[in-house]
Structure 1
Amino acid sequence: MANVAFLGMGVMGAPMAGHLAAAGHFVQVYNRTEAKAEAWVGKHGGAAASTPHAAALGCDIVMACVGNDDDLRSVCLGGDGAFAGMAKGSIFVDHTTVSAEVTRELAAAAADRGIAWVDAPVSGGQAGAENGQLVIMCGGAQADYDRVEPVMACFAKLTKRMGDVGAGQLTKMVNQICIAGLMQGLSEAMTFAQKAGLDGEAVVDVIQGGAAGSWQMVNRHKTMLAGEYDHGFAVDWMRKDLSICLAEAENIGAPLPGTALIDQYYKDVQAMGGGRWDTSSLMARLVKLSE
């Protein structure tokens, strides 16, 4: 059992930390809105801290799942940041989806303090976090990964080291590029089926077992056909992630023409008021175009 700090009690972080507590780890939590941290402690035990620094004190492992690059910097750096409270030889595990740039920056800052770094973005969404079924793609030294893997296993169905620091975030970028393309293809297919007068659910029953099948098709087609988009990962967050993908693609010289185009389609969805709709709402844009 480990002493673990968890920074960020959002829809992902709170259930992830809950699985740690249920497994017997002692968990100290921090959230920018302190009431969320206090509510988590009321449900799971452990302790709430008023700063990331305080949360990190005495912990072998500090985990974070926050919003973006700036949020991650704010919980890591400065007098109130986690690094200031972490002992040499401890490990910071970042579950946030952030840029490769901030990952390299903060990993170097951690190393200067004798703190190890593992970037460990997750896939599986809120349901995956709640059910302990996340997929975690990791970057960091093998020895550091080996130390934290049994702890991450509390809320994961699969963890894998992809390479050195930064490899986890790069793998998550690949994941988001795939999702963007899949969602656009599925949205076009479901719109086409409806316009052709077909029974969309019957179509999916036939094709999901073949080469066209995907997790997105199985789990999102019914709500898409019903015009319901309040499930899963929000468009606002997807655009944040795609901006990270596109910036890194420019940096390494990888062409992403389709991803860049779909990012603009998501911008159209935001303009429709769908910033908090889930990523399958690309279909709403096509329905509007077809009216």
Structure 2
Amino acid sequence: MAQVAFLGLGVMGGPMARHLAAKGHAVTVYNRTSAKAEAWVQAHGGRAARTPREAAADQEIVLACVGNDDDLREVTTGPDGAFQAMRAGAVFVDHTTASAEVARELAAAAQAGGFGFIDAPVSGGQAGAENGALTVMCGGDPQTYARVEPTILAYARACRLLGPVGAGQLTKMVNQICIAGLVQGLSEAIHFGKQAGLDIPAVIDVISKGAAGSWQMENRGPTMNQSKFDFGFAVDWMRKDLAIVLAEARRNKAKLPVTALVDQFYAEVQSLGGGRWDTSSLIARLEK
């Protein structure tokens, strides 16, 4: 069991930290809203810290799951950031979906400070976090990764090192490209089926058993048909992720015409007031 700190107790971080405590790790938590950290401690034990710096002091592993690159810099290299207190030989694991650029930046800062860094974005959404069934995509040094993998598996069903620092974030970008295309295709299919007068639940049931089947179809197809979007991964966050993807594509010269188009479709969903709707709400723009 490890001495760990977890920074960020949102819909993903809160359950992830809970699984760490349930597995017997000594957990210190930090959240920008201190009341949330105190409530977490009341429910799960451990200790709440006032700053990321305080949370990181004397810890073997510090994990974070925050909003974006700027939030990540604030809790790491900011004046009260964790990097100001990380001890030599410790490891910082970043579960934020962020840019590969910031991952490399923070890895360099960690190396200068004498501790390790792993970029480790996750997939699986709120349900995956709640159920301890996330997929974790990692980048970093193999020996450093080996030290933290058992801890990550407290809330993951799959965890893999995919290359040097930044590879985790790049893999998450691949993941988001796939999801964007799948959800748009599924939206158009369900919309077409409705217009054709088909029994959509029956259609989803049968085609999900064949080559068209996917996680999105089985888990979001029925709720898309019912126009239910009050759960899951928000459109605002998907657009943040796709902005990272498209910026990286401009750097590496990848051609992503469908991804760029779907990003604009999500902008339309935001204009409908759906910024906090689940990403499956792409169908709403077809049926408005």
Match of 1:225 in 2: 225
Residues 103-118 of structure 1 mapped to structure 2, 5 A cutoff: 103-118=103-118
Structure 1's consecutive aligned runs of 4 or more residues displaced over 6 angstroms after TM superposition are none
Aligned-partner SS, 1:87 = coil
**How far has the Cα of 1:58 moved from its partner?**
1.0
Give the whole-Å Cα distance in 1 for the aligned partners of 2:217 and 2:79: 47
Residues 167-206 of structure 1 mapped to structure 2, 5 A cutoff: 167-206=167-206
Aligned-partner SS, 2:153 = helix
Aligned-partner SS, 1:163 = coil
Which residue identity does 2:68 align to in structure 1? N
Match of 2:61 in 1: 61
Give the whole-Å Cα distance in 1 for the aligned partners of 2:276 and 2:143: 39
Give the whole-Å Cα distance in 2 for the aligned partners of 1:188 and 1:231: 21
**How far has the Cα of 1:206 moved from its partner?**
1.2
**How far has the Cα of 1:231 moved from its partner?**
2.0
Give the whole-Å Cα distance in 1 for the aligned partners of 2:77 and 2:141: 22
**Conserved in 1, the CA contact under 8 Å of 2:53 and 2:81?**
yes
**How far has the Cα of 1:205 moved from its partner?**
1.3
Match of 1:29 in 2: 29
Give the whole-Å Cα distance in 1 for the aligned partners of 2:45 and 2:235: 34
Match of 1:98 in 2: 98
Indicate yes or no: 2:137 matched with 1:160. no
Match of 2:8 in 1: 8
Match of 2:20 in 1: 20
Deviations 1:208-267 (A, max 9, x none): 011100000000111111111112100000000000000001100100000000000000
Indicate yes or no: 2:79 matched with 1:88. no
Give the whole-Å Cα distance in 1 for the aligned partners of 2:78 and 2:194: 55
Residues 199-214 of structure 1 mapped to structure 2, 5 A cutoff: 199-214=199-214
Give the whole-Å Cα distance in 1 for the aligned partners of 2:76 and 2:205: 48
Give the whole-Å Cα distance in 2 for the aligned partners of 1:66 and 1:169: 14
Match of 2:52 in 1: 52
Match of 1:235 in 2: 235
Give the whole-Å Cα distance in 2 for the aligned partners of 1:43 and 1:111: 36
Which residue identity does 2:39 align to in structure 1? A
Give the whole-Å Cα distance in 2 for the aligned partners of 1:165 and 1:102: 10
Which residue identity does 1:76 align to in structure 2? T
Deviations 1:185-226 (A, max 9, x none): 000000000000000011111110111000000001111111
Residues 66-85 of structure 1 mapped to structure 2, 5 A cutoff: 66-85=66-85
Give the fraction of aligned pairs with identical amino acids, expressed as a percent.
Answer: 67
Which residue identity does 2:287 align to in structure 1? V
- Mind listing any 5+ residue stretches in structure 2 that lack a counterpart? none
**Conserved in 1, the CA contact under 8 Å of 2:183 and 2:216?**
yes
Aligned-partner SS, 1:27 = strand
C-alpha RMSD of matched pairs (Å): 0.6
Which residue identity does 1:253 align to in structure 2? K
Give the whole-Å Cα distance in 2 for the aligned partners of 1:78 and 1:240: 22
**Conserved in 1, the CA contact under 8 Å of 2:204 and 2:222?**
no
TM-score by length of 2: 0.99
Which residue identity does 1:268 align to in structure 2? E
TM-score by length of 1: 0.98
Match of 2:266 in 1: 266
**How far has the Cα of 1:32 moved from its partner?**
0.4
Aligned-partner SS, 2:145 = helix
Which residue identity does 2:185 align to in structure 1? G
Aligned-partner SS, 2:128 = helix
**How far has the Cα of 1:115 moved from its partner?**
1.4
**How far has the Cα of 1:106 moved from its partner?**
1.1
Give the whole-Å Cα distance in 2 for the aligned partners of 1:79 and 1:259: 37
Give the whole-Å Cα distance in 2 for the aligned partners of 1:7 and 1:53: 10
Give the whole-Å Cα distance in 1 for the aligned partners of 2:185 and 2:112: 45
**How far has the Cα of 1:79 moved from its partner?**
3.0
**Conserved in 1, the CA contact under 8 Å of 2:119 and 2:138?**
yes
Figure out how many residues of one structure are paired with residues of the other and give that number. Answer: 288
Aligned-partner SS, 1:145 = helix
Give the whole-Å Cα distance in 1 for the aligned partners of 2:148 and 2:112: 20
